[in-house]
Amino acid sequence: MENLLLPFLSGLGVGCILGFGFGSVFFAIIQSSINHGFKKGVNIALGVIICDILFCTLVLFGSQFIDEIHLYKNVIKYIGGVLLIALGVYQFFSHKPNNEKMGDTKAKGTMYYVSKGFILNFMNPFNFFAWIAIQTYLKGVHSYSTIQSIYFFAGTVCSIFIIEILLSILANYVGKKLNEKIIKFINYTVGYIFIIIGVVLIFKKI
**What are the pLDDT digits (tens) for 52-104?**
999 999 888 876 666 666 677 777 778 878 877 887 887 787 555 443 444 44
Q: Which residues contact 190 (CB under 8 A, 6 or more apart)?
A: 27, 28, 30, 31, 88, 91
- Give 202 or 205, the one with higher predicted confidence: 202
What confidence tier does 181 reach under pLDDT thresholds 50, 70, 90? confident
Residue 105 has pLDDT above 50, yes or no: no
Tell which residue, 49, 9, 52, 10, has the closest CA to residue 162: 49
Q: What angle do CA 45, 50, 52 make, to 5 degrees?
A: 90
The domain limits of the chain are 2-203
- State how far the Cα of 127 lies from the Cα of 52, in Å rounded to an integer: 8
Residue 104 amino acid letter: D
What confidence tier does 130 reach under pLDDT thresholds 50, 70, 90? confident
Residue 4 has pLDDT above 90, yes or no: no
- At 144 the three-state DSSP class reads coil
What confidence tier does 107 reach under pLDDT thresholds 50, 70, 90? low
Tallying the residues shown for the chain, one arrives at 206
Contact between 180 and 32 (Cβ < 8 Å): no
The rounded percent of the chain whose pLDDT value lies above 90 is: 30
Q: What is the pLDDT of residue 21?
A: 72
Residue 120 has pLDDT above 80, yes or no: yes
Q: What is the pLDDT of residue 91?
A: 74
